[in-house]
Amino acid sequence: MSQSPIPYQSSAPYFPPQRPTALTVLAILGIVFGGLGTLCVGLSDLTALFSLINPAMSHFAAGQTEVQKVIGLILGLCGLVLSIVLLAGSIGSLNLKPQARQLMVAWAIADIIFDALRLLITILVLMPDVTRNPAFANNPAFANNPNSQQFMAYAKVAGIAGAFVSWAITTTFAALIYIFFRKPEIVAAFDRPSPSPGISLPIPPPAPPI
Taking only the tens place, the pLDDT of each residue in 138-168 is 566 665 666 666 777 777 788 788 889 999 9
Phi/psi of residue 168, nearest 5 degrees: -65, -40
Rounded distance between C-alpha atoms, residue 152 and residue 146, angstroms: 10
Q: Tell me the pLDDT tens digit for each residue of 1-19.
A: 455 555 544 455 545 557 8
Rounded distance between C-alpha atoms, residue 100 and residue 111, angstroms: 16
**Cβ contact 37:86 at 8 Å:** yes
Residue ranges in 95-204 assigned as alpha helix (H): 98-121, 134-137, 140-143, 146-180, 184-191
The CA-CA-CA angle for residues 127, 46, 44, to 5°, reads 45
Overall pTM > 0.75: no
Mean pLDDT of the chain: 77
Please check the confidence at residue 119 and state whether its pLDDT lies above 70. Answer: yes
- Return the biggest CA–CA distance within the chain: 116
Nearest to 109 by CA among 34, 162, 178, 183: 178
